[in-house]
């Protein structure tokens, strides 16, 4: 049996270290620079909790608040993520 296997470098968190990301979790949305990743969690530096994104084509968030210097998010609670400018 033949199978098609496609390798995509940007499909994991490690490949996106240093990028600004938007994380959707089961209860909250977060944005910040991805600065750490391990088997159970990720770390965002200069994080924001995003209450309302606003239009996606605009820079910044319509309603967000700065958090502490760093926040750690459990991988199990992440539903999806995006690399943002």
In a domain, 44, yes or no: yes
Kindly report, residue by residue over 44-65, the tens digit of the pLDDT. Answer: 999 999 999 999 888 889 999 9
What are 84's strand-pairing partners?
20
pLDDT mean by block of 10 residues, the chain; 85 residues: 68 88 95 95 97 91 95 96 90
Query: CATH number of the domain that 28 lies in?
Result: 2.30.30.100
pLDDT at res. 58: 87
Q: What's the number of domains the chain is made of?
A: 1
Which domain, by its residues, includes 59? Answer: 15-84
Report the half-sphere exposure of 1 (CA within 13 A, side-chain side). Answer: 2
In a domain, 1, yes or no: no
pLDDT at res. 1: 78
């Amino acid at each position: 049996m033949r199978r098609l296997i496609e390798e995509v470098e940007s499909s994991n968190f490690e490949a996106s270290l240093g990028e600004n990301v938007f994380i959707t979790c089961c209860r909250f949305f977060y944005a910040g620079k991805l600065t750490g990743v391990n088997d159970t969690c990720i770390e965002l530096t200069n994080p924001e909790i995003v209450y309302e994104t606003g239009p996606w084509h605009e820079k910044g968030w319509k309603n967000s608040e700065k958090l502490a210097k760093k926040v750690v998010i459990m991988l199990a609670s992440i539903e999806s993520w995006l690399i943002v400018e």
